[in-house]
Structure 1
Amino acid sequence: MNQDQLKQLVGRAALDHVPAGQVLGVGTGSTVDCFIDALAARIAAGAIAIPGAVSSSERSTQRLRSHGIQVLDASEVTGLAVYVDGADEIDGRGFMIKGGGAALTREKIVADLAETFVCIADESKLVKTLGRFPLPVEIIPMAAAQLARRFARLGGEARLREGVVTDNGGHILDVRGLAIDDPLAFETEVNQWPGVVTVGVFARHRAQVCLLGAADGVKTLRF
């Protein structure tokens, strides 16, 4: 199977983790698009009913609404049983790099509401050490040069993602050349730097379940 087929495979597999009758957290990205489409088909068939979803981006909000699924604001819920989202990288402990779609801040907000984070990804996203994928960092624009220098002292090369403004009005630095051996400590440190809105390491909000699409089917990893 090609990568698109693997995304569809895990998107459908994630439906087994959707709690009927409860508001669902929904992430962002091409794999999540497949999940939203599969969810809508399941709802249309009468196989599942949910009162709505909390979305992590305008992109996902539009896709959910196009299928007639009600989108709730995060402020309207006090918690979520499940949050379904993709990852740019995930390691063997459930720690992830996210933010390739520039929605990392809102993704962390929705993930923080959820009891269980279900990551859906193809097997190419599973890595031993985080950092092969350029690390996205949402920043306040005036801090870009200052933050690039700080990442350089860690051995990283930070570049501004041209033409990208997040749903929050922030900019994105992509940092290459890092090997993140201690994701929790790294996330805690970088989040304290002035000008950082959110770093794309998801350690405090790691996945509890990963549905990994492979040529021989979906592998379920639990952390």
Structure 2
Amino acid sequence: MATTEELKRKAAEAALEYVKPGMVLGLGTGSTARLFLEGVARLVESGMDLKAVPTSLATAEAAKKMGVPLTSLEESMWLDLCVDGADEVDRRLNLIKGLGGALFREKIVATASKRFVVVVDQSKLSSRLGTKAPVPVEAHPFGWKNVSAALQALGAQVELRQKEGEPFRTDNGNHILDAAFGPIQRAAKLASAIAGIPGVVGHGLFLGMAHAVLVGTPKGVRTLVPRQTT
């Protein structure tokens, strides 16, 4: 039986097929995205001309150690490809992201990319968002309790994320509120409601953004693409 780590690696390795010489990449944050980064480092070491924009300080540090050349959105406003993980993926390839705390920058980089490819193991698939993961909400420290109350009014059970006994801080200096709504019936409506709360910097609902989801399974990698609507 393949381990979760092995399934993640299968998906990450499959994503390397999307990488072409001369590309500017968006590098995600998290365990599966880290495996993709390791593959990118091998391509760079072999002589492939690549540059990348990291979505977190941790990813930037790892990329530097691996010898992957970095750039920024100021220097490279539009990217060719972003590869990142996800915490939950529904049947329409909508995502919950942000359990790693980098959701704000991840959404900016994914939106700035011509193609956004998501890499996950099969445990992240669900029939409806919110079944397996809470929705992370990045909130400014000023008034975060008001944001929490507003999320509760929308039906969530809310926890302030902690790290080593203190409120977790994102790379942007903000708090993360993990809002558990249970299975979400109307994700777009909820996303709009969360975004409209004063003090919210960003949220982990990534709707209609993924161009492909690569799923590591014991039988290989499944490639999921959004259904075409007419």
Q: TM-score range by the shorter chain?
A: over 0.9
1:186 corresponds, among 175, 190, 194, to: 190
Counterpart in the other structure of 1:93: 92
* CA deviations over 1:47-66 (Å, ceiling 9, x no partner): x331x101100111111111
The question of whether the paired residues in 2 share the 8 Å contact of 1:154 and 1:178 is answered with: no
* CA deviations over 1:50-98 (Å, ceiling 9, x no partner): 1x10110011111111111111111111211211000000111121000
Counterpart in the other structure of 1:113: 112
Counterpart in the other structure of 1:74: 73
Query: Residue 104 in 1 paired to residue 108 in 2?
Result: no
Offset at residue 177 of structure 1 (A) = 3.4
1:203 corresponds, among 189, 207, 211, to: 207
The question of whether the paired residues in 2 share the 8 Å contact of 1:213 and 1:219 is answered with: yes
SS, match of residue 150 in structure 2 = helix
Q: Equivalent residues in 2 for 1:6-85 (5 A)? A: 6-46=7-47, 48-50=48-50, 52-85=51-84
Offset at residue 144 of structure 1 (A) = 2.1
The question of whether the paired residues in 2 share the 8 Å contact of 1:25 and 1:53 is answered with: yes
The question of whether the paired residues in 2 share the 8 Å contact of 1:80 and 1:115 is answered with: yes
**Separation in structure 2 between the aligned mates of residue 102 and residue 25 of structure 1, nearest angstrom:** 17
Amino acid at match of 2:133: F
The question of whether the paired residues in 2 share the 8 Å contact of 1:19 and 1:82 is answered with: no
**Separation in structure 1 between the aligned mates of residue 42 and residue 114 of structure 2, nearest angstrom:** 25
Counterpart in the other structure of 1:174: 178
Counterpart in the other structure of 1:138: 138
The question of whether the paired residues in 2 share the 8 Å contact of 1:122 and 1:213 is answered with: yes
**Separation in structure 1 between the aligned mates of residue 76 and residue 189 of structure 2, nearest angstrom:** 30
The question of whether the paired residues in 1 share the 8 Å contact of 2:211 and 2:225 is answered with: yes
**Separation in structure 2 between the aligned mates of residue 178 and residue 170 of structure 1, nearest angstrom:** 24
**Separation in structure 2 between the aligned mates of residue 110 and residue 42 of structure 1, nearest angstrom:** 21
Q: C-alpha root-mean-square deviation of aligned residues, in Å?
A: 1.3
- TM-score of the aligned structures, taking structure 1 as reference length: 0.94
**Separation in structure 1 between the aligned mates of residue 191 and residue 151 of structure 2, nearest angstrom:** 13
Greater alpha carbon shift after TM alignment, 169-178 vs 117-126: 169-178
Query: Residue 212 in 1 paired to residue 211 in 2?
Result: no
Identity of aligned residues (%): 38
Note the residue ranges of structure 2 that are not aligned, 5 or more in a row: none
Offset at residue 215 of structure 1 (A) = 0.7
**Separation in structure 1 between the aligned mates of residue 196 and residue 74 of structure 2, nearest angstrom:** 25
- TM-score of the aligned structures, taking structure 2 as reference length: 0.91
Counterpart in the other structure of 2:148: 148
Amino acid at match of 2:13: R
SS, match of residue 142 in structure 1 = coil
Number of matched pairs = 220
**Separation in structure 1 between the aligned mates of residue 224 and residue 69 of structure 2, nearest angstrom:** 30
Offset at residue 3 of structure 1 (A) = 0.6
The question of whether the paired residues in 2 share the 8 Å contact of 1:155 and 1:178 is answered with: no
**Separation in structure 2 between the aligned mates of residue 69 and residue 12 of structure 1, nearest angstrom:** 17
* CA deviations over 1:184-214 (Å, ceiling 9, x no partner): 222122111101000110115x211000001
Query: Residue 126 in 1 paired to residue 125 in 2?
Result: yes
